[in-house]
Copies of this chain bind each other. A is one copy, B any other.
Amino acid sequence: MSGPTLKPLPLTRERFLPFGDVIEASGTQRQRMNEARFERFDDLCGVNVGADGRVCISVARCRSATKLPYRFDVVERHPLGSQAFVPLAPARFVVVVAPPGESVELADLQAFVTNGRQGVNYQRGTWHMPLIAFEAGQEFLVIDRAGDLPNCDEHVLDESVLLLEP
């Protein structure tokens, strides 16, 4: 089969900067808390829900696992707010993203694989493949926006893309 393919790269904060934040307990901004029984890795992502939205905390549970290689042809964006996914048990997952913008071209897409303990926060407007997981039952905490206005745009790609194993 021909056509465009994407091979996920290991996720790092630097690589993900155009798209949002990596949520992980690393780096130097740690503080002690509770008489030093804990260390706190503080303020790991930008939550943006706009003036007319509110922060919404949810759990997404995988009902149907996705295997790689996986073919997709739709990406979506949330024009009014950020959206974060944090695994509730260590598990690698793969994301596909393109920078915020009115349109998205195949050449803009990038794929990343997490290290199993990372979460991601898509900044407002970042195009992304709808979430997939490798095992049924996997759960993610979702931090996004609730509000009255429509907040999901879908875009059908010019060609379907084959997402490869990392």
Contacts and interface: CB of A to CB of B under 8 A. Distances in A.
B37 A59 contact: no
B88 A86 contact: yes
A113 interface: no
B58 A40 contact: yes
Interface string A52-72: 001111111111101000000
B42 A130 contact: no
A89 B133 CA distance: 16
Contacts of A139: 25
Q: How large is the interface on A (under 10, 10 to 19, 20 to 34, 35 or more residues)?
A: 35 or more
Copies, count: 2
A128 B31 CA distance: 20
Contacts of A37: 62-64, 66, 130-133
Task: Sort A-B residue pairs by CB-CB distance and give the 5 closest, nearest first.
Answer: A25-B59, A34-B130, A47-B55, A41-B59, A37-B64
Contact of A40 (B38, B60, B121): B60
Contact of A89 (B33, B62, B89): B89
Interface in A9-36: 23-25, 33-36
A162 interface: no
A140 to B, nearest CB: 8
B84 A87 contact: no
Interface string A108-129: 0000000001010100000000
27 contacts: A23-B141, A24-B59, A25-B61, A25-B139, A33-B60, A33-B130, A34-B130, A36-B64, A37-B62, A37-B130, A37-B133, A38-B131, A38-B133, A40-B58, A41-B60, A41-B61, A42-B58, A43-B56, A43-B58, A44-B58, A47-B56, A57-B84, A57-B121, A57-B143, A88-B90, A89-B89, A89-B90
